[in-house]
Amino acid sequence: MAKRRVMFTFPPELITEPVIYNLGLQFKVVTNIRRADVTEDRGWVVLEVEGREDDIERAIAWVTSKGVRVDPIGKDIIEG
């Protein structure tokens, strides 16, 4: 089993969709939300995704294809 810590940033049109619920349904991964800030037109969720490496990969690819931005935690490592 592998674990990945990620941040999902949602575009306005996906705010009302149960994306994380669907993620758990469609792929064999367990999601564990640690922090979130969601307003009516935008939002982010910090969570851990647990499962087999290839299931995690496919799950991440699926949310990305839905228009969610996925960043690994520790995202900002690029600096001048």
Partner 1 sequence: MSFATGLRCRECGREYPIEPIYVCEFCFGSLEVSYDYAGIKRALSREKIASGPRSIWRYKELLPVGDDVVDINAGLTPLIKADNLGRALGLSQLYIKNDCVNPSYSFKDRVVAVAATKAREFNFKAVACASTGNLACSVAAHGARAGMKAYVFIPADLEMGKVLGAAIYGPTLVAVEGNYDEVNRLCSELAEKYPWAFVNINIRPFYAEGSKTLAYEVAEQLGWRAPDNAVVPVASGSLFNKIWKGLNEFHHLGLIGPVKTKMFVSQAAGCSPVTTAYQSGTTQIRPVKPRTIAKSLAIGNPADGYYALKTIRESGGSATMASDPEIVEGMKLLAETEGIFAETAGGVTIAGLKHLVQAGAIKRDELTVAYITGNGLKTLEAVQDSVVKPVLIKPNVNSFEEAMGLKVAATGDTRRNPGVKD
Where along the sequence are the contacts to ligand PLP (CB under 6 A)? 79-80
Q: d(Cα 79, Cα 61) in Å, to the nearest integer?
A: 27
62 binds, among ligand PLP, partner 1, none (CB under 5 to 8 A by kind): none
Please give the single-letter amino acid code of residue 33.
Answer: I
* 24 makes contact with partner 1 (CB under 8 A): no
* 52 makes contact with partner 1 (CB under 8 A): no
Q: d(Cα 78, Cα 47) in Å, to the nearest integer?
A: 22
Site for partner 1 in 32-51 (CB under 8 A): 34-35, 37, 39, 42-44, 46, 48
At 25, phi and psi to the nearest 5? -70, -45
